Structure 1
């Protein structure tokens, strides 16, 4: 994911991640293939406008755990090996960039 992004993501707790995701819902994000998407969070589920199924908070936490366990191994969405990986990877990358920029200020 890149050193700076890894560091920013590695410092997030699961609750912090979910709180950040709630704050950013409705914004447009882009997958690794540059497909635009937005999302809404209801309870412990995220609903992406490009998908008919939800991505749960538990799935995000599993992805975060995998990144923390072996950051070098996570090279793209497929390496997360979780449902909704393209969206999760895009959001973690974006949040990591934002957190990394905030750390530099």
Structure 2
């Protein structure tokens, strides 16, 4: 799967409930290629998701700490969609 297909899935699944590794539920909305979750005001950009996608598959969000903001949310979304 290429990243444009993954990003399409991110867009299509906005509003659905996702869960962090620790079980915290959240939803998200996308506006202008920026994801905002219901649990934080972090700006999670399309580029953040692309950088994380390049490292997938992963067993948890830890390896994303150094490359994206909100790694728990980015991981939870990608892990569920992939």
Give the alignment's TM-score, normalised by structure 1.
0.71
Higher relative contact order structure (alpha carbons within 8 Å, sequence separation ≥ 6): 1
Given the alignment, which residue of 58, 72, 77 partners 2:61?
A: 77
* In 2, Cα distance between equivalents of 1:93 and 1:53: 19
Detail structure 1 runs of 4+ shifted over 4 Å in the superposition.
none
Give the count of matched residue pairs: 80
Instruction: List alignment gaps of at least 5 residues for structure 2.
Output: none
**1:1-51 deviations in Å (ceiling 9; x for gaps):** xxxxxxxxxxx2121111101111001110000000000001110011111
Instruction: List alignment gaps of at least 5 residues for structure 1.
Output: 1-11, 97-105
2:24 maps to what in 1?
A: 35
Give the alignment of 1:64-103 within 5 angstroms: 64-67=53-56, 71=57, 74-81=58-65, 82-96=68-82
The CA RMSD over aligned residues, in Å, is 1.2
